[in-house]
Amino acid sequence: MLLNYKDLTVRNASREDAALLAAWWNDGAVMAHAGFPNGTGETAAEIASRISEDTDEHRRLIIELAHRPIGEMNYTRCPDQEGRKTAEIGIKICDLTELEKGYGRIVLSMMISSLFKDFRYQKIILDTNLNNRRAQHVYETLGFRKVRIRENSWKNQLGELQSAVDYELFPEDFVNFAK
């Protein structure tokens, strides 16, 4: 995947990105919302190995602003009970100085548009921590519909109970901010 909109680029992660991803994933400030306030502990070599296994059905992506990496996204094809081609997605703006500038909404628009048009997905799902109100607002402006709240459904690496919100999006409900 290679998508461009103004100064933003979304591209496939490569093995050369593994050290940067390891730095981000081992930063508790970046990873706390995902349940890893102490970071994931993954090495660049482990990440590089997994990146080399990416396919068009499971892909890690790098977000760049003016050719400078600021975050990452991913998508994975997953089973759907109704037989629809479904992708689960995730996003993190990892450069904390670039938060709350609208980049997340735009790069999500870029990726979602490509998943629906180029890859012919029929449904996109995601989840987020119930406390992540900023992300919920972004998802809902893109047309995602809240499916359920899973109270105390998982524990972060400190053993603290967390709740999650599940969302789904269909092509007819998608609001594209990267046109």
How confident is the model over 43-67, as pLDDT tens digits?
A: 999 999 999 999 999 999 999 999 9
Averaged pLDDT, 19-31: 95
State pTM to two decimals: 0.93
Please report the pLDDT score of residue 108 as a whole number.
97
Cα–Cα distance between 28 and 157 in angstroms, integer? 11
Nearest CA-CA partner of 72 in 43, 107, 110: 107
Please report the pLDDT score of residue 52 as a whole number.
95
Q: Is it the case that residue 178 has pLDDT exceeding 80? A: no
Domain boundary assignment for the chain? 2-123
Residue 72: DSSP 8-state: E
Size of the chain, expressed as the number of residues it contains: 179
Question: When comparing pLDDT for 17 and 177, which is higher?
Answer: 17
Q: How confident is the model at residue 82 (pLDDT cuts 50, 70, 90)?
A: confident
Cα–Cα distance between 37 and 4 in angstroms, integer? 32
Q: Is it the case that residue 159 has pLDDT exceeding 80? A: yes
Please report the pLDDT score of residue 33 as a whole number.
84
CATH topology of domain 2-123: Aminopeptidase (3.40.630)
